Amino acid sequence: MSVMQEMSGAVAAPDAPVLVVDQLCVAVRTEGGMKPLVRDLSFSLRRGETLAIAGESGSGKSITSLAIMGLLPPPAVRVTGGAVRLGGVELTALPESRMRSLRGDRIAMIFQEPMTSLNPVLTVGAQLVEAIRAHEAVGRAEARARALEALRAVRLSQPERRLEQYPHELSGGMRQRVMIAMALALRPEVLIADEPTTALDVTVQREVLDLLRDLQRDLGTAIILITHDMGVVAEMADRVIVMKDGAQVETAATADLFARPQAQYTRDLLAAVPRMGAGAVRAPVTGDVVASLRDVVVRFPLKGGLLGRVTQNVHAVEHVSLEVRRGETFALVGESGCGKSTIAKAIVGLVPHQGRIEVGGQALEGLDTAGQKALRRKVQMVFQDPMAALDPRMTVGDLIAEPLVIHGVGTRTEQRAAAAELMARVGLGADGLDRYPHEFSGGQRQRICIARALALKPELIIADESVSALDVSVQARVLELLRALQAEFGIAFLFISHDMAVVENISDRVAVMYLGQIVETGTRAQVFGNPQHAYTRRLIEAVPVPDPAHVRAAGVRLAGEVPSPVHDVGRGPVRVTLVDVGGGHLVAREG
């Protein structure tokens, strides 16, 4: 019997539902009355079962989970009908004091962004101990021992050290493991995982999904998995509910839903999923070089000691060289912290660098303010979060025209006309020019950012995780738009992403980064069809496959701690190699 099985205690009979949702209705109060958010949703959940609730943003997935947990924001949003029964307890009628005692104890939840769920001023250990002692009459020492055991159960490295660390000192994958440990420390009967891997790198996502599956096997926990990633659904779920506009449009066993989807919305959702090997064959791009990097190094100083002197450097980018050609999509892939976005910032002059960077044949080094301004007409960026990139106080028309205003291009009338034309180019009507960013959906806001990037007719657009936060159908439309604009204007794209399936569908050439270095580069066919580096194979193998019948090969995993990118001042070039230690495991070592 495993440790987690010993921790599991008594559970419900295997043939009895642990959770029943019966014709649940949720509505929000508006000026015009109550607006429905979830309508007549019904399902049951059994011990050890994983039920996926899938659909796009706004479909009602997360509202359903908050209603089950009793966490709807009062008084505007409330349950207006139906029932939620956990065992024999009707949850929607419980007072908050009683519901609070059930949360964590019998039903728990993992949220999408662990940093917003963890208290930044308390250590990981303090938060775990607090959660355990809030529900069980145990001493601090016993609670701490339980917390340590929970961190070991979720395979967090150096668990004793992690207890003493604060959330900001952990990576995103580590924080998500802490949230899972906190959720499972009290052995709940039901675990709701709301987009638990959406913001994670593909390899960290693979580890978290494997972890949930292993813990479910040991504990018999019933899981509600809320996601818009159909690859994750295919790999994890026993049954699937597809939601749209607050209503259930289809429910089926996972294998049946993927093989024979009944609803048109489900068919459209599955068709939009990027699939490895589905990218169109493209002729090699032979245009002029638009951007080139030669032996580029980026290091960030760290100060220490009483005098605040620079004693160490973060080696963010180490001796990177690459070229991007006109009309080409050059993809830069790797996990968070590998240096992808730092390279993008170096190209547009936002971080200091060593080495040589040229854009449009002109070197960045030594440019004065006027030269830097002129250079920025040649290169533009599209960021991951369009809402953060758009000034909420400006109209969309002013936002798109702003680059023209800054560079003195055209009269006010001409700038307005150019903004209207650009809106049409990205598939939005000119009637939206006088609206504000918050009045558009996420996909529409990203289209606005693309229109703004096109305003100065740049030679190079850097798309930094520009579609990773979008629903698959919106993502497909944005990628199609980028390809169409590239064909029309001959734009070069530096496409930065950790989503290997998207990269395989859109790229001409690919460079794979690990810890500030490029470990493999080649055409899309070379990198995806015959990857040479073990780390590249690890990235590709970790991609969720939207096919329940797919049998995953034994993956390649990194063992041990990844070397730190922080080194003492004066340290020479840092090289990291991945050593095969057998059993599909790699150890990252310096040297």
Which of 11-15, 137-141, 303-307 has the least mean pLDDT? 11-15
- Tell me, yes or no, whether 260 and 399 share the same domain: no
* Predicted local confidence at residue 5, as pLDDT: 39
- pLDDT of 455 above 70: yes
* Predicted local confidence at residue 260, as pLDDT: 95
Phi then psi dihedrals of residue 513, to 5 deg: -110, 145
Of 51, 18, 2, 12, nearest to 218 (Cα)? Answer: 2
**Total domain count, the chain:** 2
In a domain, residue 204? The reply is yes
User: Which residue among 242, 271, 300 closes a domain?
Assistant: 271
In this predicted model, which residue has the larger pLDDT, 396 or 385? 396
* Predicted local confidence at residue 88, as pLDDT: 84
Angle at the Cα of 475 from the Cα atoms of 504 and 53, rounded to 5 degrees: 105
In a domain, residue 575? The reply is no
pLDDT more than 70, % of the chain: 91
In a domain, residue 258? The reply is yes
User: Which residue among 451, 468, 500 closes a domain?
Assistant: 451
CATH of the domain at 153: 3.40.50.300
Instruction: Provide the mean pLDDT of the chain.
Output: 86
pLDDT tens string 404-415: 999 999 999 999
- Whether 155 and 177 have beta carbons less than 8 Å apart is answered as yes
Name the pLDDT band for 68 (thresholds 50, 70, 90): very high
Containing structural domain, residue 444:
390-451
- Tell me, yes or no, whether 117 and 261 share the same domain: yes
* Predicted local confidence at residue 3, as pLDDT: 35
User: Which residue among 435, 451, 467 closes a domain?
Assistant: 451
pLDDT tens string 267-291: 999 988 888 876 667 778 888 999 9
pLDDT tens string 208-241: 888 888 878 888 899 999 988 888 899 999 999 9
In a domain, residue 285? The reply is no
Average pLDDT over residues 308-334: 90
- pLDDT of 177 above 70: yes
Name the pLDDT band for 555 (thresholds 50, 70, 90): low
In a domain, residue 187? The reply is yes
* Predicted local confidence at residue 8, as pLDDT: 39
- Tell me, yes or no, whether 257 and 127 share the same domain: yes
- Tell me, yes or no, whether 58 and 204 share the same domain: yes
In a domain, residue 138? The reply is yes
In this predicted model, which residue has the larger pLDDT, 263 or 557? 263
Q: How far is 163 from 170, CA to CA, in rounded Å? A: 11
Name the pLDDT band for 246 (thresholds 50, 70, 90): very high
* Predicted local confidence at residue 222, as pLDDT: 94
111 φψ region: left (φ > 0), alpha (ψ -120 to 50), beta (else): beta
- pLDDT of 584 above 80: no
